[in-house]
């Protein structure tokens, strides 16, 4: 469906249907790609992956929408949806190598978990889910607003998670600066004895 076939005008006060939105984003992609090609560049994200990423919720990425993509496009779409950036060359090469070694469903699950649980995604407050939430108007993956708990329970949960996270991080820093170097020293000493 082209942009002219949608019948959408800028002055229209009616909501835009998802099919029309896809056509609009596809036309924008084609225009941006044409301009990039004129300058000797190319857009790294394939068109179908770009259109699918525009349907995502800002902080809950539905990975089931990307099921039809090939592994290369899937990697790019997940990086763009979750982290708002392209993967660097070494990360892309390692993920593509892993995609050839593993079955597609296991590979995609591992990619989703690794990206969704990364510090970058946590900082941006983005999660990856394997369900479609098209019918809901508001989702907050971090406070699990669909569980039927009261607002007070959510605040208690979020504060508890905040403090436990800080305490674990504090304890890890103590370990990293005190016990870990000592453990590495002992490990190296034992290896040197075995090699001697």
Give the per-residue SS3 of the chain: CCHHHHCCCCCCCCCCCHHHHHHHHHHHHHHHHHHHHHCCCCCCCCHHHHHHHCCCCCCEEEHHHHCCCCHHHHHHHHHHHHHCCCCCHHHHHHHHHHHHHCCHHHHHHHHHHHHHCCHHHHHHCCEEECCCCCCCCCCCCCCCCCCCCCHHHHHHHHHHHHHHHHHHHHHHHHHHHCHHHHHHHHHHHHHHHHHC
Residues 94 and 38 in one domain: no
| Residue scoring higher pLDDT (152 or 75) | 75
Task: Please report the pLDDT score of residue 103 as a whole number.
Answer: 93
Within-domain flag for 48: no
Task: Please report the pLDDT score of residue 43 as a whole number.
Answer: 84
Task: Please report the pLDDT score of residue 111 as a whole number.
Answer: 92
| Residue scoring higher pLDDT (113 or 13) | 113
Q: Is the pLDDT reported for residue 196 higher than 90?
A: no
Task: Please report the pLDDT score of residue 142 as a whole number.
Answer: 53
Residues 133 and 59 in one domain: yes
Number of domains within the chain? 3
Residues 126 and 99 in one domain: yes
Task: Please report the pLDDT score of residue 92 as a whole number.
Answer: 92
CA 28/CA 111 separation, integer angstroms:
29
Q: What percentage of the chain reaches a pLDDT higher than 90?
A: 17
Q: Is the pLDDT reported for residue 101 higher than 90?
A: yes
Residues 130 and 71 in one domain: yes
Residues 128 and 83 in one domain: yes
CA 121/CA 58 separation, integer angstroms:
12
Residues 24 and 98 in one domain: no
- Reported as a single tens digit per residue, the pLDDT across 164-193 is 778 888 888 888 888 888 888 888 888 888
| Mean pLDDT within 57-73 | 85
Within-domain flag for 50: no
Task: Please report the pLDDT score of residue 156 as a whole number.
Answer: 67
Within-domain flag for 175: yes
Residues 102 and 67 in one domain: yes
Q: Residue 104's domain spans which residues?
A: 55-139
Residues 169 and 156 in one domain: yes
Q: Is the pLDDT reported for residue 38 higher than 50?
A: yes
Within-domain flag for 93: yes
Instruction: Give the pLDDT band (50/70/90) at residue 121.
Output: confident
Phi, psi values for residue 146, rounded to 5°: -95, 5
Within-domain flag for 49: no
CA 170/CA 123 separation, integer angstroms:
17
| Residue scoring higher pLDDT (138 or 68) | 68
Task: Please report the pLDDT score of residue 141 as a whole number.
Answer: 52
- Reported as a single tens digit per residue, the pLDDT across 44-62 is 888 888 888 887 777 788 8
Task: Please report the pLDDT score of residue 145 as a whole number.
Answer: 45
Please report, for residues 5, 48, 141, the alpha-carbon distance to residue 102 in angstroms, rounded to integers and kept in the order given. Answer: 42, 24, 28
The rounded radius of gyration (Å) of the Cα atoms in the chain is 23
Residues 4 and 77 in one domain: no
Residues 126 and 167 in one domain: no
Residues 134 and 147 in one domain: no
Residues 68 and 133 in one domain: yes
């Amino acid at each position: 469906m082209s942009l002219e076939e949608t019948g959408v005008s800028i002055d229209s006060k009616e909501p835009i249907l998802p099919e029309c939105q896809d056509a609009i984003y596809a036309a924008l992609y084609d225009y941006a790609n044409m301009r990039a090609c004129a300058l000797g560049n190319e857009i790294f994200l394939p068109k179908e992956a770009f259109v699918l990423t525009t349907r995502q919720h800002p902080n809950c990425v539905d990975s089931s929408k990307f099921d039809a993509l090939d592994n290369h496009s899937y990697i790019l779409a997940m990086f763009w949806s979750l982290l708002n950036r392209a993967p660097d060359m070494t990360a892309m090469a390692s993920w593509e190598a892993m995609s050839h070694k593993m079955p597609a469903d296991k590979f995609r699950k591992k990619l989703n978990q690794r990206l969704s649980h990364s510090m970058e995604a946590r900082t941006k407050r983005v999660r990856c889910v394997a369900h479609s939430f098209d019918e809901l108007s508001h989702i907050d993956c971090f406070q699990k607003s669909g569980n039927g708990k009261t607002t007070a329970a959510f605040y208690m949960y979020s504060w508890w998670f905040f403090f436990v996270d800080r305490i674990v991080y504090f304890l890890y820093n103590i370990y990293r600066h005190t016990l870990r170097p000592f453990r590495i020293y002992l490990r190296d000493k034992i290896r040197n004895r075995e090699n001697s």
